[in-house]
Amino acid sequence: MDEKIISILNETRPEFDFSKSNNFITEGLLDSFDILTIVNSLDENFNISIDGLDILPENFSSVDSIKKLLIKNNVSL
């Protein structure tokens, strides 16, 4: 699952090294275009529908937090 998340992040913003970031949002790696692109990719790739109320900074700040969001959406590891 980690690999898939990282590849979605890399396709969205290839110019950044996400592994070196502590927080994608506060460090400015992602903007509003990116968040929506990532939500769409996650929805498509994992066949889920992420709830709008879950589109919050804390759920997109790291690979781990995105993973937690996927688990909340019943994606199995």
Binding site for other proteins (CB under 8 A): 10-11, 13-15, 25, 30-37, 51-53, 55-57
User: For residues 39 and 76, what is the distance between their CA atoms, to the nearest angstrom?
Assistant: 18
The least CB distance from residue 23 to other proteins, in Å, is 13
Which one, 45 or 77, has the nearer CB to other proteins? 45
CB of 67 closer than 8 Å to CB of 60: no
How many other CB atoms are there within 10 angstroms of residue 9's CB atom? 23
The least CB distance from residue 51 to other proteins, in Å, is 8
Instruction: Dump strand ranges (E) for 1-77.
Output: none
The least CB distance from residue 69 to other proteins, in Å, is 13
